[in-house]
Amino acid sequence: MMNEHWKKSTYSTANGSCVEARATAQGAAVRDTQHRHLAELSLPSTEWSALLHALRTR
């Protein structure tokens, strides 16, 4: 992994319903902060960029 430091979304709510992301050698990884131990979703850089673009244009 390129970055072992997870960053919490700036849109996180006070009740903890949010996601965290980190950079990886292939793109990015995302996980649910309420269920960190269960799994993380790994995205190639092209898919990560497409997701960020889609979220910004909403």
The whole-angstrom separation of Cα 1 and Cα 21 is 12
pLDDT exceeds cutoff 60 at 2:
no
pLDDT, position 30:
94
33, amino acid identity:
T
- The model's pTM is 0.76
- pLDDT tens, 15-58? 777 889 999 999 999 998 888 889 999 999 999 999 999 989 98
Q: Where are the domains of the chain?
A: 7-56
pLDDT, position 1:
44
How far apart, in Å, are the Cα atoms of 26 and each of 1, 10, 33?
9, 23, 22
Between residues 11 and 50, the one the model is more confident about:
50
30: left (phi over 0), alpha (psi -120 to 50) or beta: beta
pLDDT, position 24:
93
The whole-angstrom separation of Cα 25 and Cα 14 is 31
